[in-house]
Chains A and B, each alone.
Chain A
Amino acid sequence: EPEVTQTPSHQVTQMGQEVILRCVPISNHLYFYWYRQILGQKVEFLVSFYNNEISEKSEIFDDQFSVERPDGSNFTLKIRSTKLEDSAMYFCASSEHGADYNEQFFGPGTRLTVL
């Protein structure tokens, strides 16, 4: 069964460093998303991406964040200068449709630890 994959599973970085989290969505999906979950808190929407551009972003997704689909298979989230409060589990998701019934398929997540 097709699945969303994410690498790495765990990333440890120093505050101020840049990190790139990688995702491979399901191949025929057109809509891509990043969410994050700080330990013990809710899963929060960060950004949605369609047709090579951001379609919606949350207040969390400030200038330090960017997303890219560098080729036909990868979808990346870059954090330019990490802060302690960026420590969280980051989930990538993809869906075939964007509106109405919108089953999003999630990857296993990347745990980001900022020291």
Chain B
Amino acid sequence: GEDVEQSLFLSVREGDSSVINCTYTDSSSTYLYWYKQEPGAGLQLLTYIFSNMDMKQDQRLTVLLNKKDKHLSLRIADTQTGDSAIYFCAESPTRSGGYNKLIFGAGTRLAVHP
């Protein structure tokens, strides 16, 4: 089946690194995504990783993918108060004909404190 699990809450001190973890079930997902939701706003694509990659770095963001364990993580270096938001992991199971829907986790609420 299709399922994505992630922890619901993470609290970090400003300047520290944050690591948000996610597990997914569908190995057919070609791409895996991290979305960010700030209060009152929609989900915004933060980064993604292609399934044949182990790691992707994008400025302060590092995505690690362990395909064998179906485990995805998002590391935010030097976390700032502006990073406080809900982070959603999503898989996109491949289906014939395309039109890939996104399967989301419940979201991890990141709280950054001074």
Contacts and interface: CB of A to CB of B under 8 A. Distances in A.
Interface of A: 4, 6, 31, 33, 35, 40-45, 48, 50, 55-56, 58, 91, 93, 98-109
Nearest to A6: B42
B84 interface: no
Interface of B: 4, 30-31, 35, 40-45, 48, 50, 88, 92, 94-95, 97-107
Contact of A42 (B94, B95, B106): B106
A105 B46 CA distance: 11
A50 B99 contact: yes
Given A42-B104, A42-B106, A91 B42 contact: yes
Q: Is the interface of B mostly helix, strand, loop or mixed?
A: loop
A93 B35 CA distance: 13
Contacts of B35: 106
A55 B97 contact: yes
A101 B43 contact: no
Contacts of B4: 42
A102 B35 CA distance: 13
A108 B42 CA distance: 4
Given A48-B101, A55-B99, A108 B45 contact: no
